[in-house]
Amino acid sequence: MATAEFGRAVRRRRDRVAPADAGLPAGGRRRAAGLRREELALLAGISVDYVTRLEQGRASHPSAQVVEALARALRMPGEERAQLFQLAGLAMPGPDTVPAHIPPSVHRMLDRLAVNPVAVYDATWNLLLANPSYGALMGDPSGWRGTERNGVWRNLVGPPGRVRHTPESRARFEAALVADLRTAAVRYPADEPLKRLVAELYEHSARFAGLWDSGASGRHEAARKTIDHPDVGPVTLDCDVLTVAGSDLRIMLYTAEPGTEDAGRLAELTGRVAGPDPRRAADQDRITRR
State pLDDT tens for residues 60-104: 888 888 898 899 889 888 889 999 999 998 888 888 889 888 888
* pLDDT greater than 60 at residue 107: yes
Last residue of a domain, one of 92, 112, 142: 92
- Say how far apart CA 80 and CA 5 lie, in whole Å: 13
Task: Determine which helix (DSSP H) or strand (DSSP E) holds 136, and give its type and residue range.
Answer: helix 132-138
- Say how far apart CA 239 and CA 26 lie, in whole Å: 30
Q: Which residues form the domain of 25? A: 4-92
Domain assignment present for residue 184? The answer is yes
pLDDT band at 1 (very low <50, low <70, confident <90, very high): low
pLDDT band at 268 (very low <50, low <70, confident <90, very high): very high
Same domain, 88 and 128: no
154: amino acid identity, one letter: R
Same domain, 119 and 220: yes
Number of domains in the chain: 2
Q: How far apart are the first and last CA of the chain?
A: 12
State pLDDT tens for residues 222-264: 789 999 999 999 999 999 999 888 788 999 999 999 999 999 9
Domain assignment present for residue 277? The answer is no
**Helix 192-204 vs helix 206-214: angle between axes, to the nearest 10 degrees?**
120
CB 149 within 8 A of CB 285: yes
Query: Domain containing 75 — which CATH number?
Result: 1.10.260.40
Radius of gyration of the chain (CA): 19
> Pairing mode, if any, of strands 223-229 and 233-244?
antiparallel
- Say how far apart CA 114 and CA 2 lie, in whole Å: 35
